[in-house]
Amino acid sequence: MRASRRWKTTVCGVIAVTGIALGTGTAHAVPIGQTMNGKMTYYNDRGYGACGTPIDATSQDLVAVSASYWTSPNPNNDPLCAGIKVQVSYNGRTITVPVKDKCPSCAPTHIDLSQAAFRKLVPAGTDMVPNVSWKFVR
């Protein structure tokens, strides 16, 4: 019985440590000024964004970017929250919106705009744009 308990404790400890290591992923450097082409979607959440500030994606212009760009264990203190914005160009229009949130399911070239910002570029009835140009700016 004792050996069994030690084994369970060891296995649980290894699983916990492995889970933390696997959850961190690989962070990409934020390529300021580098034009990217990728997918654009929108979301309409309300609450607190990854920068620790209240957001309302139905009415505020903001963007959530791939979790791979977040480098701080505490996203509230992440460099992305210190004035980094995303400039998005689509269909002859360009908007610049602050990074306020993290998109856990987004690939590095996929941006998730707030519904308010998305509608400034795309008419109602469109939920996703497969190819849009965007870049990080200060």
Position 26 scores a pLDDT of 54
Position 52 scores a pLDDT of 95
pLDDT tens for 112-135 read 999 999 999 999 999 999 999 999
* pLDDT above 80: residue 9: no
Domain extent listing, the chain: 28-137
* pLDDT above 50: residue 21: no
CB-based contacts of 136, cutoff 8 Å, min separation 6 = 30, 31, 32, 33, 34, 84, 85, 86, 87, 99
Which residue type does 111 have? I
Residue 93 bridge partners (DSSP) = 90
Position 102 scores a pLDDT of 96
> What is the chain's alpha carbon radius of gyration, rounded to the nearest angstrom?
19
pLDDT tens for 55-104 read 999 999 999 999 999 999 898 899 999 999 999 999 999 999 999 999 99
Buried b (16+ CB within 10 A) or exposed e, 111-138: bbbbbbbbeebbeeeeeebeebebbbee
Q: Count of CB atoms within 10 A of residue 29's CB?
A: 7
Q: Count of CB atoms within 10 A of residue 90's CB?
A: 17
DSSP state, 125? T
CATH code that applies to domain 28-137: 2.40.40.10
